[in-house]
A and B are shown apart, each in its own frame.
Chain A
Amino acid sequence: MRDRVRTWPGTVALLSGPVLWLVLFLIVPLFIVAGYSIGALSLFPTDTGPSLYDWRRFLTGSSVYMSLFWKSVQMSLVVSVIVVLLAYPVGYYLALVARRRKYVLLLLIIAPFLTSYLLRVLAWRVILGAEGVINTLLSSVGLRDEGDPVNWLIYSRFTVVLVLVYVWVPFVALPIFVTLENLEASILEAGADLGGPRWSIFWRVTLPLSLPGVGAAFVFVFIPTIGEFVTPSLVGGTSGLMYGNAISELFLKSLDWQTGSVLALFLVGVVAILMTISARFAQIKAVESP
């Protein structure tokens, strides 16, 4: 009798709501996208039936989209690595050093997140432009001549990386902070037990233990950034065309929903595989009832 009581409410009762919700409003739409990708569904009546033509065209690289995909992956890798490298010391500082005021300080760096994303990106345009904050500062201090602003600040790959890092660091500092905060007790114990230089405590205890959380944080940035296109198109200049832009244009400008669906499904597939691999780093574990 105890077992039956312990399993109320039943698993099915618990899961039916969320699962049904997602099946209806996520899985079904995905099938629709799949249908478009093979031409089984189409926006306008056509004579041709379903075919894998667009899949083949994309995967064999005979169109420009595959190279755009790799370009986006590369950009996302660079951004994610930088973000994690910057967020880790912040998380470390907050969790393990600034003990008493850590929540206030954490909130302080999360707050910018509450402004509109678009406006934050536009603000960078103002800062980095030819007559923006930085260039005005440089010329007033005399480091650069008037009328000779630093050009590569805006509308370049540098800008894209800078703004994306800016947008993501607060978001990534949080899970790293949480991970390190959870480890606080273990680290103090290790310190007491091992003695020795703090550097070696960090290297032998803190870092290895925090790696799963860091890995999760990395994936947290990496995946959405592959499909990112708003920032690159706003500040990337002519190098700002990304995979996400291609999807957007295919759906909205060329109305080539077939190719657009192929690209979208491919992204979903790749990401799903990445997520599965990194699922072991996620913090969801089954808790066995004692």
Chain B
Amino acid sequence: MDAAASTWGRRGLATFYGLLAAFLYVPIVVLMIFSFNDSVLVAFPLSGFTTRWYRQLLENEQLLTALRSSFVIAAVSSVLAVVLGVLASYAVVRRRFVAKGAVTALLLSPLVLPYLVFGITLLILFRAVDSFLIPRVGIYFGLGTHAIVIGHAVVSLPYTILTVVPRLERLSTDVEEAARDLGASPRSSFRRVTLPLLAPAVLSAYLIAFTLSFDEYAIASFIAGDVTTYPLYLYGQVRIRIGLPQMIAISVIVLVLSLLVVVLVEVYRRRAERRLDVGLPSG
């Protein structure tokens, strides 16, 4: 007997899922429709089919540059967030130390700070650093890509920790101990045993951080300096009506691409974890 649900229960839940999924996709479908609509106005009635928005955005230098900037920023800040996150997760899960509650709270605290406020204070911080450095050493920190990378690495950190910790908890320490018993140094046992076991979770954490950074607007709007990120460009274009259809088209492309990536990664992750976990003591 299926402990989870009766036949009617199964059907009811499946219907519920179907309705909810439909609800979630209605705006997506609407966006897709309008990405082919032959009019600048995003409103009914429809004006005919066209692919010109897709063609136009391929020639849109500003948009392509913005996408590139966002990609770089997301890639780099996510690496930072994941590295710091893995270190922190390891400490939280495998170590005992004083004031663990307080440290955990600190590590998760970026979740609670409004991005708007965070962006402003980072701006002030960087300018203060500059006004200190410039007269003394002649160099400056400035705003731009590196500033946004720092900001995003801060706000992504809790998410990476929240992704890696559960996986780390499920991993028993027995395997690492076994490796060490067999003579591996702690460093190499971490590298050759723990890290590969963690790899799928690390990859997920990276993706989450990447997605967050790629779509992040508030913080970037303050510390971007001369750089335009994709969300900044998007928000700007949405406000002048002429730019809107192109933005819809690019977001459809981004959606399809990220869907592909996420599907592939998740498939890999689940297969990898299942393979890696086979033969491990349960616990």
Contact = CB atoms under 8 A, between A and B. Distances in A.
Asked whether any CB of A lies within 8 Å of a CB of B in the complex, the reply is: yes
Interface of A: 5-9, 11, 14-15, 17-19, 21-22, 25-30, 32-33, 86, 89-90, 92-94, 96-98, 103-105, 107-120, 122-124, 126-127, 129, 131-133, 136, 166, 169-170, 178, 187-188, 190-192, 198, 201, 206, 223-224, 227, 244, 247-248, 251, 260-261, 264, 267-268, 271-272, 275-276, 279, 283-290
A35 to B, nearest CB: 10
Contacts of B105: 272, 275-276, 279
Contact of A247 (B43, B104, B116, B238): B116
Interface string B1-41: 11111100110011011001101111110110010000000
Contact of A21 (B28, B84, B109): B84
A99 B6 CA distance: 14
B202 interface: no
B122 interface: yes
A221 to B, nearest CB: 12
B43 to A, nearest CB: 6
A229 B25 CA distance: 23
B96 A97 contact: no
A126 B34 contact: yes
B263 A107 contact: yes
A22 B122 CA distance: 12
20 contacts: A6-B186, A8-B186, A11-B95, A19-B106, A22-B154, A29-B118, A93-B13, A109-B21, A116-B251, A118-B238, A123-B28, A126-B30, A126-B43, A188-B3, A198-B5, A198-B6, A201-B3, A272-B109, A275-B108, A276-B105
A188 B2 CA distance: 8
A61 B2 CA distance: 56
Interface in B79-107: 83-85, 87-88, 90-97, 100-101, 103-107
Interface stretch (B52-60, B61-69, B132-140, B254-262): B254-262
Interface residues of B, number: 95
Nearest to B115: A227
Nearest to A290: B173
Given A126-B44, A127-B26, 12 more contacts: A15-B103, A22-B106, A26-B113, A112-B25, A119-B247, A123-B31, A131-B45, A132-B43, A188-B3, A275-B105, A286-B100, A287-B94
B193 interface: no
A30 B122 CA distance: 10
B100 to A, nearest CB: 7
A94 to B, nearest CB: 7
A179 to B, nearest CB: 10
Given A223-B111, A247-B114, A286-B100, A97 B10 contact: yes
A100 to B, nearest CB: 12
B251 A89 contact: no
B230 to A, nearest CB: 8
Contact of B5 (A97, A124, A260, A279): A97
A170 B21 CA distance: 9
Contacts of B166: 178, 283
Majority SS at the chain A contact face: helix
Contacts of B187: 8
A248 B221 CA distance: 13
Contacts of A136: 44-45
B200 interface: no
A120 B110 CA distance: 25
A25 B187 CA distance: 30
B209 interface: no
A49 B226 CA distance: 35
Contacts of B109: 22, 26, 272, 275
Residues of B contacting A: mostly: helix
B205 interface: no
Nearest to B250: A116
5 closest A-B pairs (Cβ-Cβ)?
A191-B3, A29-B121, A123-B27, A96-B4, A271-B112
B116 A170 contact: no
Contact of A187 (B3, B10, B117): B3
Contacts of A114: 211, 254-255, 258-259, 262
B192 interface: no
Contact of B165 (A9, A97, A284, A289): A284
B235 interface: yes
Given A33-B117, A116-B231, A90 B92 contact: no
B185 to A, nearest CB: 9
B87 A17 contact: yes
A219 to B, nearest CB: 10
Nearest to B110: A26
Contacts of B258: 111, 114
Contacts of A224: 111
A73 B141 CA distance: 39
Contacts of A108: 21
Interface in B137-156: 150-151, 153-154
A161 to B, nearest CB: 14
A287 B263 CA distance: 32
B242 interface: no
B215 to A, nearest CB: 6
B248 interface: yes
